[in-house]
Amino acid sequence: MTTEPLKLGFLASRNGSSMRAVIEATERGALAARPLLAVSNNRSASALEFADAHGVATLVIATQADPDAADARLCAAMKEAGVELIVLSGYLRRLGPLTLGAYRNRILNIHPGLLPTFGGEGMYGRRVHEAVIAAGASESGATIHAVDDIYDHGPVIARRTVPVLPGDTPDSLEARVTAMEPGFFVETLQAIAEGRQPLPA
């Protein structure tokens, strides 16, 4: 079976840890993908330096002054680069209707908790792990989902769990989930490339 490389774009606001893992996986032959473009809303994002150092085109698109213009520019840039699947890697802005429409069910995000229980507006980063501990849950994990116009709402692509251990704090649980996320994202993308993990229609 011939695996067609995924044509990837990335959105990152800070260091882009999942993006870094994906790019490194393509370089060592562990992922059938072509990283084509990395975009940030933050000119000083270290994700941009990493992408540039690894031969991936970069672009800064400010979003606050004119979100509609930013949406149009982002959508056009991804299309011009030949991107077919967009990976969110700590992108801290809501996407606009043009980009969401052009890439419906082709924008993937990883959420540091199990959806839908520990998701929604305001549920990000440390808050997710605090909520898991407060709920007395026996497990947490990460969820890869397609992005739509509601926070943490789009179709679930894959989940991976980790145990919540006795004595866990939000810090220790966050460390366990964070350590698992990049590899989980890479493995899920490879399953998509090989046709083992279908995307929503």
Q: Is 129 a catalytic residue?
A: no
Q: In angstroms, what CA-CA distances link 78 with 24, 34, 35, 86?
A: 21, 13, 11, 8
Out of 111, 129, 145, 153, pick the active-site residue: 111
Q: Are 177 and 156 in contact (CB under 8 A)?
A: no
Alpha helix stretches (DSSP H) within the chain: 17-27, 46-53, 67-81, 97-102, 126-135, 170-193
Render 164-192 in DSSP notation, one character per residue. PPTT--HHHHHHHHHHHHHHHHHHHHHHH
DSSP category for residue 90:
S
Q: Say if residue 163 is preceded by a cis peptide, omega within 30 of 0.
A: no
Render 123-142 in DSSP notation, one character per residue. --THHHHHHHHHHT-SEEEE
Residues assigned a catalytic role: 111
